[in-house]
Copies of this chain bind each other. A is one copy, B any other.
Amino acid sequence: MRAELERAIAEVRERTVDDKAALVVFSGDLDRVMAAFVIATGAAAAGLETSMFFTFWGLSALKKKGVKVPHKGFKQRMFALMTPDSSEGLGTSKLNFFGMGSVMLRSMMKEQGIASLEELMQMARDLGVRTTACTMSMDAMGIEREELLDGLEYGGVAAFMGDAARARVALFI
């Protein structure tokens, strides 16, 4: 009888979740990336082991400012030219007006004593939030590791699914 009950408990245990949160950051808009970091730091502060998976436009937020990589193809160079060169260059998803929107948003948040995106990113690091750059997107857009911030992990969709499938909260941002 005990064995039976133990088996039943083990079966149920396989259908449970871990105290984790897993976010996909697909967007490269300042407002959405900020929301992602607010949620990530909030999740970490609430005791969830939190990971962020940056893919596609989101990779711009992870770029180190001013790093130039030689030998890029033409399309990759065009792409790099037309996307932000670091978190500081992100525009807003609406009312951007060639960057005015993000200047205004950042200044409004600063006046209210709200952490800037860069401060939120540091907070996330301090709270142990894991940050993964999507290698498939990097290949597609011709982004090299030396263009990205230090301390990142690298992985594909399997890395994200590994976290998300066990997580309490998984969001696509």
Task: Return the contact of A114 from the options B75, B83, B136, B173 (Cβ within 8 A).
Answer: B136
Asked whether, in the complex, the Cβ of B12 is within 8 Å of the Cβ of A140, the reply is no
A19 vs B155: C-alpha distance when bound (angstroms): 22
Whether a CB of chain B sits under 8 angstroms from the CB of A107 is yes
Is A69 in contact with chain B by the CB < 8 A criterion? no
Tell whether, in the assembled complex, residue B139 and residue A171 are in contact, meaning their CB atoms are under 8 Å apart: no
Interface of chain A residues 54 through 112 with chain B (CB within 8 A): 55-57, 73, 75-76, 78-79, 82-83, 93-95, 104-105, 107-109, 111-112
User: In the complex, which residues of chain B have a beta carbon less than 8 angstroms from the beta carbon of A111?
Assistant: 73
Cβ of B57 and Cβ of A94 under 8 Å apart?
yes
Contact indicator B35/A55 (Cβ below 8 Å):
yes
Closest chain-B Cβ to A112's Cβ sits at a distance in Å of 5
What CA separation (Å) do A15 and B16 show in the bound complex?
5
The chain B residue with its CB closest to the CB of A11 is B13
The CA-CA distance from A15 to B168 in the complex, in Å, is: 9
Nearest 7 CB-CB pairs, A to B?
A15-B16, A42-B157, A171-B172, A112-B139, A46-B161, A164-B169, A109-B140
Q: Can you list 12 contacts pairing A with B, beta carbon distance less than 8 Å?
A: A5-B9, A9-B12, A15-B17, A31-B57, A42-B157, A76-B108, A79-B108, A112-B139, A112-B140, A114-B139, A165-B169, A170-B171
